[in-house]
Amino acid sequence: MPKASDRLIVGLGNPGSTYARTRHNIGFMTIDEIAREFSVTITGNQFGAAVGHGHIGGVRIVLAKPMLFMNRSGPPVLALSEALGTETENMLVIHDDMDLDLGRIKIKEKGGHGGHKGIRSLTDALGTGDFVRLRMGIGRPGIGADVVDHVLGEFTSEESARVTEQITRARDAVVTILCKGTRESMNIFNRKNL
């Protein structure tokens, strides 16, 4: 069993093939890219999450995708973090964010849920918002468009290349957070011109 020094990296999304390529699942997509790049096999169901163990730059990591719907992400993450002995400051959560334009990423050290139901479930379950977030911009829907339809809609073919670049940059941001710390990562990746 991993030790308390391991970093728990959680991607938020909805389980099942119906939601696999939707905007709400960009957290899952990023976890899958990290797993691919660092040869981490994500398998099974531990405490309601698909989990993989590996290393990045000498840091032991646990990748996790909660297998309950977005608004119920908190309990599986709490159970997994307790089993691993992971404190919230050693947790990194990757999630979609409508307040950022598609293609942008932003690292945040801690905070509230900002209306995001997955983050709200996490803060409720963990009893704190003191965990690092990697916010993945998906942009807002057009005027008069439905928010639920937007987040549960798939990326368009025109958006796909941009999303691929965004996920690659997010993967690099995770490596930087692990190896150089959150503050330095914020200085590098939070710039608007990226």
For residue 7, list its beta bridge partners. 61
* Residue 14 marked in a binding site: no
Q: Tell me the two tokens of residue 97.
A: 């964010």
Q: Rounded CA gap, 33 and 52, in Å?
A: 13
Q: Which residue has the tokens 């999304």?
A: 13
Amino acid present at 1: M
* Residue 25 marked in a binding site: no
Q: Which one of the listed residues 24, 55, 95, 150 is annotated catalytic? A: 24
In degrees, rounded to 5, the angle at the alpha carbon of residue 143 between the alpha carbons of residues 169 and 168 is: 5
Given a contact cutoff of 8 angstroms between Cβ atoms, the answer to whether 120 and 95 are in contact is no
Q: Rounded CA gap, 21 and 8, in Å?
A: 23
Q: Rounded CA gap, 120 and 126, in Å?
A: 10
* Residue 155 marked in a binding site: no
Q: Is-catalytic flag, 24? A: yes
Binding-site positions read 19, 69, 71
Which residues belong to the active site? 24
